[in-house]
Amino acid sequence: MSVVSFDSATFRRVLGHYPTGVCVVTATEGDGAPVGMVVGSFTSVSLDPPLVAFFPAKSSTSWPRLQAVGKFCVNILASDQLPLCRQIAGPGPDKFAGIAHRVSANGSPILDDVVAWIDCTLDAVHEAGDHHIVLGRVAALEVERPERPLLFFQGQYGQFSLMD
């Protein structure tokens, strides 16, 4: 085990200088109830086979529910969907109240007006410190609304600004 010369606040501060997209990972539980969690750590992994990944904290209460379903949909949020993001991220028993969505062919919620969605089956889960690495095998995907995505940068939400 190596000794580090910085604390977790420094780690967060430095890595906070790298923007991330904001997604909502959704699934439908056995009773038909939607479940979801906000993630800022989503990436493509492989073209062949088509794989994506996200990294939920081990302390997450939503991740075990999503994992139990065995399939999920990654919904890439648009810059105007901050209220939806906050609703899903907040506490409460019905995070999906008033949130319009349809169900994918794989059975997971696709949220209305997202930039894009990626429907997956759970491929693998690996431990990585205080997080998991979740690999999803892509079953279907599409761009819904080619708008600017919601971003997270230096502890705040924002949007991408195009350069001339």
Torsional sign, CA 119, 121, 123, 128? positive
d(CA 108, CA 20): 23
**Taking a C-beta distance cutoff of 8 angstroms, is the pair 76, 20 a contact?**
no
Does domain 21-151 correspond to CATH entry 3.30.70.260? no
For 25-56, write each residue's pLDDT tens digit: 999 999 999 999 999 999 999 999 999 999 99
Given this model, what pLDDT does residue 1 score? 62
- Dist. CA 76–CA 22, nearest whole Å: 6
CB 120 within 8 A of CB 70: no
Distance CA 26, CA 73 (A): 5
Q: How high is the pLDDT of residue 71?
A: 98
Q: Is 85 helix (H, G, I), strand (E, B) or coil?
A: helix
Specify the pLDDT at position 16: 86
Closest CA to 56 of 139, 129, 147: 129
Under-50 pLDDT residues of the chain:
none
**Could you tell me the residue ranges of all domains in the chain?**
21-151
Contact (CB, 8 A) for 111 and 101: yes
3-state secondary structure 66-81: HHHHCEEEEEECECCC
151 in Cβ contact with 22 (< 8 Å): yes
Q: What pLDDT is stored for residue 95 in this prediction?
A: 92
